[in-house]
Amino acid sequence: MGLIAKFYTTNDQKNGLTGDNFMFKNTKLVMGMLVCMCGTLVFTSSSQENSPQYATDVKFQEWQNVIHAPEGRVDRQVKVVDIGDANVAVGVLFRDRIEASGEPVSGIVHSHVSEVYYITKGSGTLVTGGTLLGRRDAPSDSDIVNVLVGDSFFTSVARGDGQVREVREGDIVVIPAGVFHGWHSVDERVEMVSIRPDPKKVLPEGYVNPYAE
C-alpha cells in the first residue's frame, strides 16, 4: 500500500495499535479510501442535479458477516449504491487453496463492470489479461449477471500468459471491465473486498445482502 501503509503504520505504532486492532483499523481506513476513489472516478461526469445528497456506509461487521455467511458462494454482493448517473457496488470474494499446474488458468471477464480488489487475507498468484481460449457466457438469469457483475463470460488463458503477479494481504488490484482475471494458484485462502464501479447501472441499485442487514 506504499505511502498510505507507511503513514498509518507509523501513527498506529505510536498509538500502541498492533495485531488484530492494527489490521482492523487499517482495513477500515483503506476501504474508505477505495470507496472515495472509485466514487470520484465514476461520477465526476454526473450532473449536480443527479448527485445524491447522502452517503452509504458498509460497516466492517456487515461485509464480514457476508463473506462468512454459510451459503458457500465464493462471490457475494454486499450492497449496490445509486450515486446518480452510475452505481457503485461493494462485494466480497474468497478463493480456497489452488495448486499450481500446467493447465490453462480459468477465469472470467465482465463486460461493463470494473473491479478494484483489496486483498484482506491470504496470498496467491493472480493473472489478468492474456489471449483468451474459448468463451462460455454466464447464464442471463444467474446471480453473476443480475446481482454481482453484469454480463460476463468464463474463459481461460495459457499458463504464463497475461500479467502474472503475486498478491497478498494489503495489496490492491484495479481490473477494468473487459479484462480477464483468474487465479494461477492460491497458497493460503484469499479473502477480498471488491469495489465495483457500474457506469451503465446494470446492477440492482439499492440491493442489500440479507446477511448485511
pTM assigned to the model: 0.78
Residues present in the chain in total: 213
Rounded to whole angstroms, the maximal C-alpha distance in the chain is 54
What is the mean pLDDT of the segment spanning 167-178?
Answer: 98
What span, in angstroms and rounded, lies between the C-alpha atoms of 19 and 59?
20
Q: 5-57: per-residue pLDDT in tens? A: 333 333 444 444 545 554 555 555 555 556 555 555 554 444 556 688 899 99
Q: 101-152: per-residue pLDDT in tens? A: 999 999 999 999 999 999 999 999 999 999 999 999 999 999 999 999 999 9
What span, in angstroms and rounded, lies between the C-alpha atoms of 30 and 22?
12
Residue 39's identity, in one-letter code, is G
Smallest CA-to-CA distance from 184 within 87, 129, 107, 81 is with 107
Q: 74-90: per-residue pLDDT in tens? A: 999 999 999 999 999 99
Q: Which distant-in-sequence residues (6+ apart) come within 8 Å of 197 by Cβ?
A: 38, 41, 42, 86, 88, 113, 114, 116
pLDDT over 70 at 4, yes or no:
no
> Which one is the CATH code of 2-207: 3.30.9.10, 3.40.390.30, 3.40.50.2000, 2.60.120.10?
2.60.120.10
